[in-house]
Amino acid sequence: MTAFAFTELFGGAVYQIDDLDPTSIAMIGGAQGTVRVAAMTGHQIAQAHPGASWVRFGTHGSGVGQFNRPAATAFLGSGHLLVLDAGNGRLLGDLNIVGHSMLDDDAHPSGPDPEWTELFGKPGAPLFTQLVDRWVRDQCPGGTSGRTDPGYTADAVYEPFRQRLDYVFTSAASKLAVQHVRIDRALADPHGALPYLSDHQPLRADFNRVTPNCTPATAFGIPDVIDFAQTSSLANGEVRWYRFDVAGTYDIGFFYDGAETVYDIYLGDDFSTPQAPYRNIIDPDLGTRFVLPATFFVKVHLADRWGDCSYRLRTHRHVGRTFSDAIVLIPEVPHHEHFPAQPFNIDTNFADWDDSESKWFLLETPRIRVPHAVDLSVEVSNPIEHAGGASTSVPVRVTVGGWNGIAPPISFITDSGPSRDPQGVTWEAEENQHFFVLVQRTTSTSRVVEFDIVLHTPINLLLARPAIDTTLTC
């Protein structure tokens, strides 16, 4: 069942639960049975003498003869430890039933609800009002929340082949925030140096007092702006989350004063793997470059948890005005872009052709050896102009140029258009080459023009992190 439980979860009474069968919930202790008494001393449970009933001792507080958490414990017949605690409650353990999000329609087809839902996952379930599953009901409820990480902790040879079998619960009345729950892959496989014997992945949970924006669910929402900046501060154990709902190429600048402070970036469908920068590019004026899908989150925290600091977070989203502001194209990921109803840019002289009123896109081939030249192609479609409530198909020009990866100018390779029909450009490339694709507006700058663009490549990439993560992108 479970390793232990703090039974303030059940309103201060102590209950025994056999294998999470709701019909077996029964009060224990009182004047009956043999129990052991324990108290929190120095944030540790100290076992005391056997007693004939549940006993609280000590006075809540932190002075001489006082305990931070008066508590009573009992060892059940099943061998599990049950704890009555005057503080915040937690239930931890491997329950071996598959956890699902209430908002995940695929996990809740018509018919009887899964065992998890019957026990924990819906109003009226036996433990719904007492326990909060911090992964599903708080951090990642799924659906349209933008926080959809399923939290798989185990693989199986039967359906479902990937399962969430490990949980962190707290009391619904807990005064603590769970700032981040994640799968600790480094602990599960510490770079191959030590064996990890469990068939489940370990969970790591960060508890702290409630502060503004301290969880993904309460993250500060970044408005749809090109540039954003905020100055704030942190103290012992505090975390601040920021939520971004616009995908794109971002430069992130970060500065701090005081205790060492860092930031990590997580995707809404993966709160366990910090995202790596794009090719370790650092703009000296704007910061480290990332290419990120929506929704993603920035977590700012103290490096070793203790101390205090002030910091400034600054982000810039590329909109394609110049070669240094180019939008990175990821193979087979469509982009919907637009020119505003005003002049966008002038001829920058960064290309050896007229690049006025052009959006810049960057694509780069893998830095590993490619055995032969490959064909790259970019497709631009649906160029639509909006004016006076009407939408009209308009022509745009598409041009490809090569770059040495150091400095302009950009050398012309091929072009297409102007055309209002779908058009593509194709050219040969080798490893570690750099190209810009420019989409040029050819109509009035006083009207919005939208279009779609996508990069196609026949290259299959295996992207890996040593000893921890491996993914295949085709």
Count of the separate structural domains present in the chain: 4
Query: Which pLDDT does position 305 carry in this prediction?
Result: 87
430 contacts 365 by C-beta, under 8 angstroms = yes
What pLDDT score was predicted for residue 197?
62
The pLDDT of residue 126 is 66
Is pTM, for the whole model, over 0.85?
no
Task: Read off the pLDDT of residues 362-388 as tens digits, 9 standing for 90 and up.
Answer: 999 988 887 888 899 999 999 999 988
Asked if residue 153 is part of any domain, the answer here is yes
- What CA–CA distance (Å, rounded) separates 161 from 159? 5
Q: What is the pLDDT of residue 108?
A: 59
Q: Are residues 341 and 444 in the same domain?
A: yes
Could you give the C-alpha distances from 41 to 9, 14, 60, 288, 364, in angstroms and in order? 21, 21, 11, 45, 58
Whether 462 is covered by a domain: the verdict is no
Distance CA(467)–CA(194), nearest Å, equals 11
Last residue of a domain, one of 52, 69, 87: 87
* Same domain assignment for residues 150 and 237: no
Tokens of 445: 């700058």
Same domain, 251 and 352: no
In a domain, 108, yes or no: yes
Preceding omega of 273 cis (within 30 degrees of 0): no
CATH number of domain containing 290: 2.60.120.380
Q: Which parts of the chain have pLDDT scores under 70?
A: 1-96, 100-112, 126, 188-197, 460-474
The verdict on residue 285 lying in a domain is yes
Distance of CA 137 to CAs 113, 176, 245, Å? 17, 15, 21
> Phi and psi of 119, rounded to 5°?
-90, -45
Among residues 454, 350, 465, 331, which one has the least CA distance to residue 411? 350
Q: Is there a domain that residue 298 lies in?
A: yes
pLDDT value, residue 471? 44
Residue 237 and residue 265 share a domain = yes
Q: Are 313 and 327 in a shared domain? A: no
Cβ atoms of 88 and 174 within 8 Å: the answer is yes
Residues 341, 282: one domain? no
Q: Which domain holds residue 227?
A: 216-317
Same-domain check for residues 10 and 110: no
Whether residue 98 is found in the same domain as residue 75: no
Q: Are 429 and 374 in contact (CB under 8 A)?
A: yes
471 located within any domain: no
Q: How far is CA 181 from CA 121, 185, 292, in A?
A: 18, 12, 21
Q: Are residues 197 and 237 in the same domain?
A: no
Q: Which residue has the tokens 């479970």?
A: 2
3-state secondary structure of 471: strand
Residue 385 Cα to chain centre, angstroms: 36
The radius of gyration computed from the CA coordinates of the chain, to the nearest angstrom, equals 28
CB 224 within 8 A of CB 289: no
- Please give the Cα distance from 100 to 112 (Å, whole number): 14
Whether residues 242 and 313 share a domain: the answer is: yes
Q: Last residue of a domain, which of 302, 317, 332?
A: 317
Q: Is residue 466 part of a domain?
A: no
Of how many residues is the chain composed?
474
- AA letter at 240: R
- Paired sense of beta strands 203-209 and 176-183, if any: antiparallel
Query: Computed from CA positions of residues 206, 211, 215, 220, in that sequence, does the dihedral angle turn out positive or negative?
Result: negative
- Tell me, yes or no, whether 400 and 433 share the same domain: yes
Q: Residue 323's closest CA among 201, 431, 434?
A: 434
Report yes or no on 44 lying in a domain: yes
The helix (H) or strand (E) run that includes residue 187 is helix 185-188
Is residue 470 within 8 A of residue 464, CB to CB? The reply is yes
Residue 66's SS3 state is strand
* Together in a domain, 45 and 117: no
Single residue among 87, 107, 132 that ends a domain in this structure: 87
